[in-house]
Structure 1
């Protein structure tokens, strides 16, 4: 039985898998200067980027939610995989041959490696695409042709056909070396009385993640005698396919979304194809589920412009009741976006695919360009439900519209929206303002509990407490960014960023030189590793891996990506001004303690002790002057 992956191979994976390359598959990164890149954090909701990546040190850190680590940690967190799986995935991508140590008993595997499941889908997609050109796929080709999609369009989107035989794909993939269990877990093969192809006699759309890997399929019914009545079948949940996290077309749309600052949400696979072919290259669709919070997080990674998330999110809805309900649902969850959210309503309830067929590519582009703000669309639907010729109906419409205005997150827009409500309903603006104020003053729904603060957050963290143990909460630690600890923070950044230039000056630094417990913990780990002189390839990663306290681990990743205040390569004077000044402050604290003890010691009754303390004070004063001279450097 194979053992654990060798350390030198893990180190090679870390070296070859550039963290900015890997992270860029999930997050749009921009140059932030000083060798750092930044983007919107994929691990929590934010409007301004606080997620930093430092390629030179192979680290990422979010200063908002405090997540951080190296390239392996990033994959583990974002895809929910194990350490070994993240190593194997990157080794496969970057061509590293992994070796395992003999005699080690590995943990029981949780299932096939992700790379195996992705490879199975890759071969399945190629198989389906080839089958689309066969004699049995005539109906599939006719379906595409009737909707305006030729062979080139099918090839661009990887559309294919699943043969009707029932075991065709199964046999093909087994010849490629895949086991039956792998194919069942991948969702490509079903298991009943025997094994059978999950998709049979259907038009197939490959569903890909943002990096372009095929992770699932959408299958459209095209034969009248299909025993499954559902018009669409989608891949079931698998280790690599989570429908609430997937947007069809994101692999093709991500660059256009980033460049244009616009994402268009349509309802189906053919609508995505129609939009892209018509020149709306930022169109995506959900896969068999309503648009939700997780889909919004996927989009948010690409809707970045400079330092803020901006741009437009445009939903295409029918103008009927179902479309209005869908718009209301989006509006209620619109807090997911700080971008402007719009609705594009096609004439006569046509979707983009039908619109393209009837009126051409220009009509699709005009549909998107003619978008209306989601707020206005929802307001018009509210007002449209009431008979505004009746006074009581106008009151009811005003109350509902006021609640809508009160729910708008950007309070600077409340006054403008209030005037718009007054105009739409036909009431006095002052009456509309009073009703909006009432809606704003209504208490929010109380929450049952508040989320616990993450250990090591920049605001400081309390100690750990055993679950169920009744005791007073420990006082919170000071903020790591408190000006009192600025020198400690900058000195640690010097050590982590440029260990080679601080080796000589930092040899006498001790844990007691750091007054913040978290910073002291960081230095203790550095010292335990052999100090700056032991730094080498993967040093920062080894330090973080050895951290037991989450606060220290978080601080290590933050300090590793945060640029120096000097924003340049540090010279000797900069190093001395920090390292020796840090030690001088420790001596000053000892001098203050010693003077306090001297004041409490009688020079007559405790002459010997008083003389000893005085001598120690003279020595410390001399030590302080020496450190001050070193910190200030040569004068004159």
Structure 2
């Protein structure tokens, strides 16, 4: 049996793992100040970035939904894995050997974390399929690829493979690698009959489908033989790893360019993705046997950094009726993006793969360059249904297209489309504007408000971190603001405090209960000798549970400094300001004692209070440099 992972190993993994690198496997980040980064939260849908990380402290926090924690918490939430599985997977990532309590040896191959076992099985299967593509039996598969313009190197670049005919080629191979049937049933690569499990993919060309981190989690398989009674494309069914509504083929290859160029091109199939990438459109991805839906949009928006400052989403569809229908389905989801959305429909019905094959790479690039706004496409597609040469036809067309214009939430674009519609219909602007206004009223849609503004809160307006016992301090109060800033400095930059400043911080009294509780947590963490890698997590453990999210918030709040020099000066000024605040409090107490007490001016107590007042004033002047 495996024992508990030793605490020092957990801390070591946390210390060695780069939080930024891990998070960027899922979220596009941009700088939010010295040592701080922000992006769209992966845990809730938002329109402006409120998800912050501070890699130096190994901490993340979302000011929108309140999710927070360290790298282990992030992976647990993203991958739905247990704590032990998460530590083990991150340790494997950095090739670190874990040690276990009570003589445990850690997970053996057969009892390793279930999710990791599934990932391992897919990796072995991918390598098996790739090797089979070079076999004599796979000539038909190689002919299919070459017939669509893909050289062997292209197949290798996209890890395309071949599933042999027969019922158990892959099954035997995985069993030989130590996998047992109970595990293999969970992969989705096998079907089950009266005699047990057998290969799901047989006699097919196979593409590996990967998640954002690059791990293979499923397969898409294209039939090659006439006697194959299955569908043209057969994908892995829903499994613990593979959720088709949350997967985009090619995203592992395209994510960097999507983030860099702030463009994503959505095509319809695996060969279309290959063709686009080979033609230079390296932001192309495809859905896997399902429509482009809400979960896909969330992924795309995070990579695009879809915060209203740019970006474009381009859909490509065949020019046939099915393609037109798919484009209109995409239009239904358009309003979930802030980025501009476009559609490319090749008039002769050619998809990117066909275009590249018959007209070359340049034709694929031209298709993307000749994109049309999705709103225009949807309106024109509806207009084609009516005879615009008659009054009746134009009136009916207006009734159907005015609601489309009404769906445009951007008030600066909607009037322009209303004018365009008036021109296409040959009607005056006033009539069209009235119809659009009536459609808006019927739909009861807010004209300028995005559908979900939960993510638009500023850092000061973030989720309430405290329950009834801890009221969030008023940031407009200078004392409350200074206390908060001091906590930010001590949590984020503890190495910048000298011995005198640390002693002053230990002795400081914080007026706000929430600040006082966090201060006590910091003191306890320091007394416990918390390492740099575990500093924030130990503080979180030392404060009341309802304040743990608040600690993470403080840990990632941007410090207003443009470089290291300004950062050092800011930290010093804030801590000195806190010390001066404590001096002010102490002086007020002593002066009050003098005013309340009846003591002899020449008495020892009177003299002692005055000496302390003088010392406090001297210290205050030194802090101010006067």
1:1-400 mapped onto 2 (5 Å cutoff): 1-102=1-102, 112-192=113-193, 193-227=195-229, 229-304=230-305, 310-400=310-400
State the Cα deviation string for residues 295-334 of structure 1 (Å, max 9, x = none).
11222232249x8652211101233433333222222212
Structure 1 window deviating more from structure 2 (395-404 vs 291-300): it is 395-404
Structure 1 match to 2:438: 438
SS of the residue 1:348 aligns to: coil
Deviations along 1:148-198, whole A, 9 cap, x unmatched?
222112111111111122111122122222222222222223333312122
Shift of 1:231: 1.5
> 2 CA distance for matches of 1:406 and 1:617?
78
Q: 1:451 to 1:105 in 2, by over 3 A?
A: farther
2:556 corresponds, among 552, 557, 561, to 561
Matched residue, 1:498: 493
Partner of 2:406: 406
CA distance in 2, matches of 1:287, 1:167: 25
- Structure 1 contact 58–70 (Cα < 8 Å) conserved: yes
* Aligned match of 1:470: none
Asked if the contact 1:511/1:523 (under 8 Å) is kept, the reply is: no
* Match in the other structure for 2:449: none
Distance, in Å, in 2 between the alignment partners of 1:591 and 1:451 is: 50
CA contact (8 A) 2:33 2:560 kept: no
Deviates more, 1:1-10 or 1:541-550: 541-550
Other structure's SS at 2:500 match:
coil
Structure 1 position 525 matched with structure 2 position 521: yes
Q: Confirm or deny: 8 A CA contact 1:303 1:309 kept in the other structure.
A: no
What's 1:549 paired with?
A: 545
Stretch deviating more after TM superposition (167-176 or 526-535): 526-535
What SS does structure 2 have at the residue aligned with 1:195? strand
- Please say if residues 66 and 463 of structure 2, whose CA atoms lie closer than 8 Å, have aligned partners that are also in contact: no
SS at match of 2:338: coil
Q: Which has the higher contact order (CA 8 A, sep 6+)?
A: 2
Residues 509 and 583, structure 1, Cα contact 8 Å, conserved in 2: no
CA drift of 1:420 comes to 1.2
Instruction: List gaps (5 residues or longer) in structure 2.
Output: 447-451
Taking the aligned partners of 1:179 and 1:570, their CA distance within structure 2 comes to: 61
* CA deviation profile, 1:477-524 (whole Å, cap 9, x unmatched): 446644542111111012112334165335455799434443333223
Q: Structure 1: how far apart are the matches of 2:440 and 2:473?
A: 34
Q: 1:209–1:497: structure 2 CA closer, same or farther, 3 Å change rule?
A: same
CA separation of 1:5/1:621 partners in 2, compared to 1, >3 Å: closer, same or farther? farther
Q: Using a 3 Å threshold, how does the CA distance of structure 1 residues 318 and 517 change in structure 2: closer, same or farther?
A: farther
Closer, same or farther in 2 for the Cα pair 1:536/1:130, shift >3 Å? Answer: closer
Aligned partners of 2:192 and 2:198 also within 8 Å: yes
Distance of aligned partners of 1:397 and 1:137 in 2 relative to their CA distance in 1, 3 Å threshold:
same
Question: Taking structure 1 as reference, are residues 430 and 498 closer, same or farther at Cα in structure 2, changes over 3 Å only?
Answer: same
Residues 403 and 439 in structure 1, CA contact (< 8 A), matched pair in contact too:
yes
Question: Is 1:461 matched up with 2:464?
Answer: yes
State the distance in 1 between where 2:16 and 2:465 align: 38
Quick one: distance in 1 between partners of 2:531 and 2:92? 28
1:583 is aligned to 2:582: yes
| Structure 1, 621-630 or 244-253: larger mean CA deviation | 621-630
When residues 631 and 417 of structure 1 are mapped into structure 2, their CA distance, relative to the original with a 3 A threshold, is farther
SS in 1 for 2:96: coil
Distance 1:620 1:302, change over 3 A: farther
Asked if the contact 2:32–2:38 (Cα under 8 Å) also holds between the matched residues in 1, the reply is yes
Deviation at 1:387, TM superposition (A): 2.4
